[in-house]
Amino acid sequence: MIKASLVIENIDNLITLRGENKPRCGKEQSRIGLIQGGLVALDGDKILYVGEGKLPSTIGTGEDTVFIDARGKLVTPGLVEPHTHLVHGGSREHEFKLKLQGVDYLDILAAGGGIYSTVEATRKASHEELYQQAKKSLDRMLAYGVTTVEAKSGYGIGDFATEIKQMEVARDLNESHPIDLVSTFMGAHAVPREYLDRSDDFVDIIINKMLPLVAEKRLAVFNDVFCEEGVFTIDQSRRILQAGQALGLRAKLHADEIVPLGGAELAAEVGCISAEHLMAISEQGIKDLAQKGVVAVLLPGTSFNLQKGRAAPARKMIQAGLPIALSTDYNPGSCPSENLQFMMSLGSLLLKMTPDEVITAVTINAAAALGLEEEKGSLEVGKRADIAIFDVPNLEYMLYHFGVNHTDTVIKDGKIVYQK
Ligand code: IZC
Ligand code: ZN
C-alpha cells in the first residue's frame, strides 16, 4: 500500500482544472473541475490522489503523514505568473506625480525616464542587491499563492553584462527560493539612447552577439521583444524573434500594448508561445492568434495603472477561441505590484472575465504560456504538488473581496512553504 506524505482533507471547494494538459479556450476556459467536499493526497513532490470524500483503500497514511484540514477553504493549483520584470534595481515613484498629471508612459520613456531610469539603477546595483530586492518580491508573490514565476531581463539594454547579471540572479533565486523561476531574455526592451537614430545596428548586436551567448550559457528559455511605437518595429521584432528561435529560444512578444502596430499578427506569424498585453489588438490579430493557438497573456494591473481607460478585449478574445492567461506584469513602471489576487479581481472587474475563466487564466493557461502545462497548472495524479489554500468560502468571494491577501497555506513540491 502506498503511504501519503501529506493529505488535505474536508476541502469545501477544490478547483482541480482537471482535463487535457493544454491551454483552455472558449467554453473550456470555464471548466474548472470543481469538487465540493474534496481531498488531495501527495506522495512527496507529486500528486497521488484527487477526489471526493475519504482516501481510497489503496492509499494509507502513517505517523509522519501531515494532515491539513481545509474546512471552509478553497484549494487550487499553485498560481502561475507568466509575465514579470522581477529582477531590477531601484523604483520609479519619482514618476508617479508626472503620471497623475497625465504624462504618458511612452512620453516619459522618450524623455529618457521610464525604462531608461531603471536601466541606470539596475546597472549600478550589485548581484547581491538585485538578488535581495527580487527575493523580497518573490516572498510576496509566494504569500499570494504563486509557485511559478517568469522573469525577464531587459534592464541592461546595450550593456550586456547587466543583462547577464539579471539572468544570473534569476537562476540563483530559482535554486534558493521555493518559487520556480523561468527565465526570459529581453535584450530588446528599449533602444539604447546612443542608438536611437540607428536602431537597426542595435538589433544586429542583439542578433549577432547577445542571443548566441544567452543560448550557449543557457541563461533563458524564452526570447521577448517590446514591439511598440518608438521602441522596436514589427520588422525588427520579427528578426530578433526568428534569430532566437534558430538558437532554440522560444518566442514571446509584448504586442499591441499601447499603439496597434500589428504585434498580435506578428506573434501568430512567427509562432510565439504567447502574445502579451494586447490592449490595442486588432480584429485580425485576434483571428490570427486564435488560429495558431497562441496564449494571450493579459495584464489588467497595467491597464489599471496606465490610467488610459482602456483594457484588452478579453470577452471578444474568449468568443474567438483564444486561451487567456493573466499575470501581474510586475515591474517598477507600468505595474509596481506583486499582488496576483488583485489582478484576478481586475480580470473580472476590468476585463469582464468570469471567476471561472479567471482561475483558469492563472493556473493551466498561465502554465501553458510557459510551456509547463504537462507538469503544472492543474491538480491531477502525477503532476507537481504545487498547491494554494485560500481562506475563502468560494472562488467568487475571493475575487469580490478585492485588494487583500486571502492565502492560508502554500505547498510547493509537496512541502508547506507558507502559512498565514
Ligand atoms: O520598466 O516600464 N512595459 N516594459 C514594457 C515595461 C512595461 C517595464 C518598465
Ligand atoms: Zn512586460
CATH 1.10.579.10 corresponds to the domain 2-77+378-419: no
Q: What is the arithmetic mean of pLDDT over 296-325?
A: 96
Q: 44-70: per-residue pLDDT in tens? A: 999 999 999 899 999 999 999 999 999
Ligand 2 centroid–CA 52 distance in Å is 40
**Grid cell locating 369:** 504560456
- Whole-angstrom CA distances from 293 to 54, 155, 344, 357, 412 are 39, 30, 23, 17, 29
Q: 225-277: per-residue pLDDT in tens? A: 999 999 999 999 999 999 999 999 999 999 999 899 999 999 999 999 999 99
Q: What is the DSSP letter of 208?
A: I
Q: Is the CB of 122 under 6 A from ligand 1?
A: no
Q: What is the arithmetic mean of pLDDT over 375-403?
A: 98
**Grid cell locating 150:** 517568469
- Whole-angstrom CA distances from 54 to 66, 170, 306, 377 are 15, 41, 49, 24
Specify the long-range contacts of residues 104-107, CB closer than 8 Å, at least 24 apart: 105/258, 105/306, 105/333, 105/334, 106/228, 106/229, 106/230, 106/258, 106/259
- Specify the CATH number for 80-368; select among 3.40.50.720, 3.20.20.140, 3.90.950.20, 1.10.3720.10: 3.20.20.140
User: 323: pLDDT confidence band, cut at 50, 70 and 90?
Assistant: very high
Q: Is the CB of 277 under 6 A from ligand 1?
A: no
Nearest atom, ligand 1, residue 228 CA = 5
To 10 degrees, what angle do helices 115-124 and 160-176 make?
A: 70
Residue appearing with cell numbers 525577464: 152
**Which residues of the chain does CATH 2.30.40.10 include?**
2-77+378-419
**Which residues of the chain does CATH 3.20.20.140 include?**
80-368
